[in-house]
């Protein structure tokens, strides 16, 4: 689907063709630069672009199929760039990724979105309001799109940081251990996915930097791209910190759970010791009483004057002795 299409001369929009064929004709008439914006294009549209701008078949195939990692490749005088724009859903604590492909040639830029993000209409309005920047050529459009994608990473960083702060508070509070473990694991996975989207950008921008002189990239665009690189490096460092913090949080949580389980086991053992102690104390006089409760005819102690007091003393003696032993062992 053709979303927006413009022909630019000296940074100013001179025409807005409504289809690809008209774009090719107007670009030939006006010269300048064509910026073609597509959303999930058909194979026919890509074939038309490939034929007109001599796009490499492998890059066209990648652009059509999607599901590519972040990368930059050069085919002759045309760059093929894949970016992973993203947004953070704070309710589900998930990073949602899009996919954006760019073909950047000497007199054209083709942007192909496979998701709603990023808002390239905003990027186009920005550049059209800054005609001196747009007049610097296709690399200026590449810079503006990279800058927008990286800027949209900032809310993700803030969202992840807030959730990690909440996890740190939960670690030493009252929380469901299973739920907290799952939250740490899931958030760590999202941070890992985000890191895989951000990390390649450093190498991509460094690779572009090495070709500035060879491909005569405008000096101001070079400076702007260096600023984007600094921004990406800062975000990459923060994401690496998040990964480390979550790994430590999971380790601490595991240790706390193990400690709580050990404490619970010790408390259970103490209760068992108390129950066993009292059972033994009660058992001793019960045994004596049971013996003398048997209805045998010949029991010498029954005719003994001190039999009853002796039986009581024996019961109390057994019970007292066992109580003293258990008390000394701190079972009671």
* Res 194: pLDDT: 94
Whether 319 shows a pLDDT value over 80: the answer reads no
Confidence bin at 295 (pLDDT 50/70/90): low
Segment (H or E) for 298: none
In this predicted structure, the answer to whether residue 293 has a pLDDT above a threshold of 70 is no
- Interval 44-101: pLDDT, tens: 999 999 999 999 999 999 999 888 889 999 999 999 999 999 999 888 889 999 999 9
Average pLDDT over residues 116-145: 91
b/e burial code for range 191-212 (CB count within 10 A of at least 16 → b): beebbebbbbbeebbeebeeeb
Chain segment 251-289, per-residue pLDDT in tens? 887 777 777 767 667 667 667 777 777 777 777 677 666
Of 79, 84, 54, 50, give the one whose Cα is nearest residue 68: 84
pLDDT above 70 for 157: yes
Query: Is the pLDDT at 301 greater than 70, yes or no?
Result: no
pLDDT > 90: what percent of the chain? 53
- pLDDT at residue 38 is higher than 90: yes
Instruction: Give yes or no for residue 186 having a pLDDT over 80.
Output: yes
Establish how many alpha carbons lie within 13 A of residue 142's alpha carbon, considering only the half-sphere containing its beta carbon. Answer: 28
pLDDT of residue 3: 86
Greatest alpha-carbon pair distance for the chain in Å reads 135
Give the pLDDT score at 176: 67
State residue 322's pLDDT score.
72
Task: Check residues 202 and 115 and name the one with the higher pLDDT.
Answer: 202
Rounded to an integer, the average pLDDT of 27-52 is: 93
Which pLDDT belongs to residue 300? 67
Which of 208, 214, 240 is CA-nearest to residue 226?
A: 208
Residues 6+ apart with CB under 8 A from 294: none
Average pLDDT over residues 180-207: 91
127 touches 133 (CB < 8 A):
yes
- The residue-averaged pLDDT of 119-143 equals 92
Query: What's the pTM value of the predicted model, to 2 decimals?
Result: 0.76
DSSP of 21-84, one letter per residue? HHHHHHHHHH-SEEEEEEES--HHHHHHHHHHHT--HHHHHHHHH----SEEEEETTEEEEEE-
CA nearest 144: which of 129, 125, 123?
123
Arithmetic mean of pLDDT, 112-140: 90
Would you state the pLDDT for residue 271? 73
Q: Tell me the pLDDT of the chain averaged across its residues.
A: 86
Q: What is the pLDDT of residue 325?
A: 78
């Amino acid at each position: 689907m053709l979303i927006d299409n413009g022909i630019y001369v000296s940074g100013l929009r001179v025409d807005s063709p409504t289809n690809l064929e008209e774009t090719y004709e107007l670009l030939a008439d006006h010269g300048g630069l064509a910026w073609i914006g597509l959303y999930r294009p058909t194979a026919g549209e890509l074939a038309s672009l490939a034929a007109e701008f001599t796009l490499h078949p492998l890059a066209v195939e990648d652009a059509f199929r999607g599901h590519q990692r972040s990368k930059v490749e050069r085919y002759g005088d045309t760059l093929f760039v894949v970016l992973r724009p993203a947004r953070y859903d704070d309710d589900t604590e998930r990073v949602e990724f899009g996919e954006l492909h760019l073909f950047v040639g000497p007199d054209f830029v083709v942007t192909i979105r496979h998701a709603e993000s990023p808002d390239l209409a905003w990027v186009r309005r920005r550049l059209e309001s800054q005609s001196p920047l747009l007049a610097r050529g296709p690399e200026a459009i590449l810079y503006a799109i990279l800058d927008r994608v990286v800027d949209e990473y900032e809310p993700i960083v803030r969202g992840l940081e807030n959730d990690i702060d909440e996890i740190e508070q939960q670690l030493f509070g009252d929380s469901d251990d299973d739920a907290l473990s799952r939250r740490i694991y899931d958030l760590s996975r999202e941070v890992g996915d985000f890191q895989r989207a951000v990390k390649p950008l450093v190498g991509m921008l460094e690779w572009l930097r090495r070709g500035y002189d060879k491909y005569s990239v405008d000096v101001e665009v070079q400076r702007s791209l260096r600023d984007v690189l600094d921004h990406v490096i800062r975000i990459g460092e923060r994401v690496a910190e998040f990964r480390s913090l979550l790994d430590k949080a999971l380790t601490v949580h595991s240790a706390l759970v193990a400690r709580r389980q050990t404490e619970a086991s010790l408390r259970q053992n103490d209760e068992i010791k108390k129950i066993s102690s009292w059972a033994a104390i009660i058992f001793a006089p019960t045994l004596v009483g049971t013996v003398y409760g048997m209805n045998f005819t010949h029991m010498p102690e029954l005719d003994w004057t001190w039999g009853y007091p002796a039986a009581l003393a024996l019961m109390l003696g057994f019970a007292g002795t066992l109580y003293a032993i258990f008390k000394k062992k701190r079972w009671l």
